[in-house]
Structure 1
């Protein structure tokens, strides 16, 4: 077996990687969860399943970011530079992701990981003699663990049986998710827009702060978090109701 050489990435490359993953997560998964299904049963069913992929992506991002963040020496670039602004975006995403992941217990996340494996890989891991990856939050840090097949089935049953099965459980999870008053749903969605992320990447690569107006607006919004003890909180459900009310005028 050929041993692969370890690739040493620069600080700029590492920051860009994490910023781009924020864009990918929000474009592929969060955008679908945020969208009002307007009574479409099939769409709502899809959203409930996508919830498992979204949370797995959040945990995966957090694990890698929290591992690499201490090695990113902020003293190597100037305050107010493109690198520092991009890092501020990542730090906001870390805080928000931790809050979202805390909505559910470790066993509930295990159930979502179980479903995520089925949706992504086409099989349920616990049917095989392999351990299922689990996640746990301890003192604002994400810890990776594992659950053996027999243990996974028992834990899954304890969570899903009270609701009548896996899909009914995901329906319950989704209701909790959209009703949760999170830190700046709208702002997180705004600062992670593809146009903003792509512009940030361009500026990091060129060592420039010649931002577009959209990026400047997003950076200004980031600055507001530093002096607010508790940012305004709103749920996805509340945002959808406000949008529907505006459209009805």
Structure 2
């Protein structure tokens, strides 16, 4: 069953210099329960595509259904079914970890008791229990990233979008997050769509990859299939063969956990 289906999905921006065709017609099917990785060089259109699918940016052309709802006609219904974890996060510096999680649950219609119980469960899953009464300003970068994930999972979405989820995390924290993403798929049936510039992460984690370049889908398939198709030993080599460019540079300085 398809949880995302797009046909000719496109986005054009109007600037002083003229029109910019960021996404030129994406045809895409994402199956329920898979981990899909979006890859692409800088300016390829993958972030714009992700923002459209998560209702943050309206398409200017094409059509799409997400979680059974029309992306253009009923974006509110789409938002109820998806979770979105942005690269920069967005916690309130005046609140504690517990209050952030409880408020998020209340916003999604949970009672105060249900929201408190959901917060406690997410804290256990994401190793935040000892931090529940700590101010968000006192969290390290890695702790804040785990809180971002917990907030995105509060309403138990069928579809979770992760934008560069492990940027800056140390190897141990990255491995823990990979394990959590696999658990979401295997135990809860959650579909995960993630963008990443770490090709080793895409290779290890994604069931299937979509490589976007020039605003269109340049290639798609499992990591193993893409490497085999291009006679490549690594995903890095396959990516270069497909796009002629390397992935965007990322800040690999680890943050404290």
Q: Fold-level match, TM-score > 0.5?
A: no
Bigger radius of gyration: 1
Looking at secondary structure, tell me which structure has more strand per residue: 2
Whichever structure has more helix as a proportion of its residues is 1
Tell me: higher relative CO, structure 1 or 2? Use CA pairs within 8 A at least 6 residues apart: 2
Give the TM-score normalised by structure 2: 0.28
